[in-house]
Structure 1
Amino acid sequence: LLRADRYKDVRELGWGERARMDAAEVRAFEVNHWGARMRTDTYRGYNGYLIEAGRYRILFGGDTAATAAFRSLRTSRPVDLALMPIGAYNPWIYYHCTPEQAWRMGNDAGAELFVPVHHQTFQLSREPFQEPIERFQAAAGSHSDRVAVTRIGQEAHLS
């Protein structure tokens, strides 16, 4: 599917590898997950991505448990927007971060704005449906203005 028509140059990136796509550079970094879908599935990888285009830096945290890897993304330039996973931590805390850990890891990377992802789309785990976003907003505390989206389907206009 991805190789069809406009996606003629599809590449898999390993940890630390980079790829240029027009004006954007994509860098893959190691997150803390397990890529398998079944016990015998040992070939799937997992990444987070830092996308840099012009003066903008966008972080996609991927599917991850808590990890110090996000600290290595901090530079003198902030991450403008961090898409961070906040759900499916109960009972899979070793593969998925809590909302508080997601907030911390985004801050470790130097994120200015957040879009919480990986929650409220279907029941994947045991935590109540609203719990991840409520906990993420509580973790943000007085910095709630840095959470650009709080509802599924909500639009945010970033400048």
Structure 2
Amino acid sequence: MNRRNFIIGGLATAGMLSLGGYSFIHRPEFGRLPQGERLARIQASPHYINGKFQNLVPVQVMSEDSGENRFVATAKFLFGDKSALSPKEPMLSHKTDLKKLDIKQDLVVWMGHSTFYMQLGGRRILIDPVFSSYASPVFFINKAFSGSNIYTAADMPDIDVLAISHDHWDHLDYTTVMALKDKIKNIVCPLGVGEYFEQWGFDLQILHEEDWDKEIKFAEDFSIHILPSQHFSGRFLTQNPTLWCGFAFVTPKNKVYYSGDGGYGEHFKTIGKQFGGFDLMLGENGQYNMAWHAIHLLPEETAQAAVDVRAKALLPAHGGKFALARHPWQEPYQKLTEASQGKDYQLLTPEIGEAVSIDEISLQAFGKWWEKML
């Protein structure tokens, strides 16, 4: 091959790679940045400063004191020893038939990681559903643990409310929400996240998109509150283009708090005081690291957060499905169990798919299923 052909071949290869890269990042899964009226509404938010959303208290996503920069952390995540990060055998589970449940019963079913099916006040609620095998845009990163994906969209009844806490891949999954599209009656999400649903063809009439400390009142006996969390957002290169949040689900009978993702802060005490406590907290516990301590809870902090929000019971989230951090997969459950000793709340540890009655929490007991697995 002469030099001219070599150059032409190289340019052609570079062009194809560039085209391929352009096509990849413009897949609908990545979504688009907020625009138009939604962007104007975002810009009016007191939490949107200098072109991006900010936490109540300024924190660093990656701590400079950890001695580990983003490059080192990413290298460890991709190429480090992963032998202890996931179970060596399929996850234990107990698949509840959701379509046969009595809608009059207030209950919650953990589906792995931060996905929950909940019945509250006669409504069916689905939180941060991810039924895909990977929590990422590519097939070789963040693979679900064997046996953790026991539910599909086909197993879901009609959903009165889909609640999405933020836009990260392990909470907002394109394939899952598209498979659920015809079953979803309402969507609740923080500011900016609605842009994804608009791009993906959802009816804007069912979209309820609000800032922190806003109440979405569906009826006199049912409301959802968008609440602060200490985290970050973005599905690709742009930092914090959309808001992140926790939720309070409130009926005259029961109150449930979902923390969403986020580090420890004074907002937990504020939330506890604001709502006078909760019957149940669905609290982040897992995928932590001192390098990003400010934006994810350590197990001991999950326990303290449950105390702060005055929860009667705590059901851990953000574990049991994806290895997004370097800790052994059982560690969050072991440490949270230890940290919960002597606390006023009841720690609930159901297997994936096992129903928890919110009305009869004190009468239920769940085993340490993680001790039965390798």
Question: How does the TM-score come out when normalised to structure 2?
Answer: 0.40
* Greater alpha carbon shift after TM alignment, 51-60 vs 5-14: 5-14
CA distance in 2 between partners of 1:143 and 1:104 (Å): 9
Quick one: which amino acid aligns to residue 93 of structure 1?
H
Could you say which residue in structure 2 is the equivalent of 1:20?
Answer: 217
CA distance in 1 between partners of 2:292 and 2:281 (Å): 22
CA distance in 2 between partners of 1:123 and 1:94 (Å): 19
CA distance in 1 between partners of 2:349 and 2:336 (Å): 11
- CA deviation map 1:96-123 (0-9, x unaligned): 1111111101210110001100012111
CA distance in 1 between partners of 2:296 and 2:245 (Å): 13
Aligned to 1:103, the other structure's residue is in SS state helix
Change (3 A) 1:44 1:85: same
Could you say which residue in structure 1 is the equivalent of 2:311?
Answer: 111
Are positions 1:125 and 2:309 aligned together?
no
Shift of 1:150: 4.7
Q: Give the alignment of 1:48-127 within 5 angstroms.
A: 48-75=246-273, 77-90=276-289, 91-127=291-327
Could you say which residue in structure 2 is the equivalent of 1:148?
Answer: 348
Shift of 1:88: 0.9
CA distance in 2 between partners of 1:139 and 1:55 (Å): 29
Quick one: which amino acid aligns to residue 331 of structure 2?
E
When the two structures are aligned, how many residues end up with a matched partner?
A: 159
Runs ≥4 residues deviating over 6 A: none
Provide the aligned C-alpha RMSD in A. Answer: 2.2
Quick one: which amino acid aligns to residue 231 of structure 2?
H
- CA deviation map 1:40-98 (0-9, x unaligned): 24312100111111131110001111111011122473310000000111243221111
Which runs of 5 or more residues in structure 2 are unaligned? 1-177, 187-204, 360-374
- Structure that is richer in strand per residue: 1
Question: How does the TM-score come out when normalised to structure 1?
Answer: 0.88
Structure 2 counterpart of 1:9, from 198, 202, 206: 206
Which runs of 5 or more residues in structure 1 are unaligned? none
Change (3 A) 1:144 1:71: closer
CA contact (8 A) 1:137 1:144 kept: no
What percentage of aligned pairs have identical amino acids?
21
CA contact (8 A) 1:71 1:109 kept: yes
CA distance in 2 between partners of 1:32 and 1:87 (Å): 15
Quick one: which amino acid aligns to residue 279 of structure 2?
D
- Structure that is richer in helix per residue: 2
CA distance in 2 between partners of 1:145 and 1:96 (Å): 21
CA distance in 2 between partners of 1:65 and 1:119 (Å): 15
CA distance in 2 between partners of 1:133 and 1:151 (Å): 12
Larger Rg: 2
Change (3 A) 1:6 1:154: closer
Considering Cα pairs closer than 8 Å and 6+ residues apart, tell me whether 1 or 2 has the greater RCO.
2
